[in-house]
Amino acid sequence: MQAQGKFSRNFIIGVSFLIALVLLYFGVNFLKGTNILKKQNTYVVMFDDVTGLYPSSPVYVNGYQIGLVNAIKMHSTDPIQFAVDINLEGDYRIPQGSYFEFGSDLLGASTVSLVANKEASKLLSPGDTLHGRQKQGMMNSVANVAPKADSILTHIDSVVLTLNKLMSNPMWEQSIAGIGSTVAQLDESSKSVNAVMASIRKDLPTVTQNLTAVSNDLKEVTAELNSLELQKTFN
């Protein structure tokens, strides 16, 4: 009886240990984001640089997560290349001519994105090797723009210093005063011109009538002179 009881305790301990190992295995894979209950296809992607890339890094296509990075190994040293194993969930298959891009998002997290060849008619088989490319990330773009921004800021500082020197010069105040005086004179001249134009517009009808009367008188005088000349001719 004692032997049987000891065997039962050992059996229970062994089963509990196996259950703990299974739970540990599932728990580790769950924390890694790997669902071992789903079918997965593994592909190998060659990268020249894997800075910031780690196992369990997400893999996307058009912004949708389709898998995870499973492992990273050095493939060769001359040239340096790394073989990255990528697990894709479900029955997703990669078209021939596709490639993977490795880069960083706005928060600096490393991600791998599949750029699928939409014109391909054939699909790659699980286990095939693809080429990877380094994606131009936001931080790289900022690094490229930074020197140009520094140059622009330097020119702005130079312009500001020049303006400060110009405005601190006593001649600047005199120039401003002279400009103000000129503007005032122009304003007065404009008012005078407006007054003259208003007077002309007011007297223009009278002047026009007088010119018309003078023109009529000249016509009458001319007619009388012509009549006198004709009478002299006939006499």
Instruction: Please write the tens of the pLDDT for every residue from 117-158.
Output: 988 889 998 889 998 888 765 555 555 556 666 777 777 777
Confirm whether 20 is domain-assigned. Answer: no
The Cα angle at residue 175 between residues 174 and 179, in degrees rounded to 5: 120
Of 106, 135, 164, which one is at a domain's C-terminal end? 135
Same domain, residue pair 115 and 199: no
Contacts of 72 (CB under 8 A, 6+ apart): 50, 53, 54, 55, 82, 83, 84, 85
Confirm whether 214 is domain-assigned. Answer: yes
Of 98, 115, 135, which one is at a domain's C-terminal end? 135
Of the two residues 49 and 151, the one the predictor is more confident about is 49
pTM above 0.75, yes or no: no
Res 32 pLDDT > 60: no
Confirm whether 224 is domain-assigned. Answer: yes
Query: Is residue 93 helix, strand or coil?
Result: coil
Alpha-carbon distance of 171 to 173, in angstroms, equals 5
Contacts of 36 (CB under 8 A, 6+ apart): 26, 29
The boundaries of the domain holding residue 90 are 40-135
Same domain, residue pair 131 and 198: no
Of 94, 118, 135, which one is at a domain's C-terminal end? 135
Same domain, residue pair 128 and 214: no
Same domain, residue pair 126 and 197: no
Res 85 pLDDT > 90: yes
Residue 116 and residue 130 in contact, taking contact as beta carbons nearer than 8 Å = no
pLDDT, one tens digit per residue, over 182-232 is 777 777 777 777 776 777 677 667 767 766 776 777 777 677 666 765 555
Confirm whether 53 is domain-assigned. Answer: yes
Alpha-carbon distance of 64 to 89, in angstroms, equals 12
Confirm whether 7 is domain-assigned. Answer: no
Confirm whether 156 is domain-assigned. Answer: no
Alpha-carbon distance of 65 to 112, in angstroms, equals 10
Same domain, residue pair 130 and 199: no
Confirm whether 95 is domain-assigned. Answer: yes
Of the two residues 100 and 2, the one the predictor is more confident about is 100
Confirm whether 9 is domain-assigned. Answer: no
Count of the separate structural domains present in the chain = 2
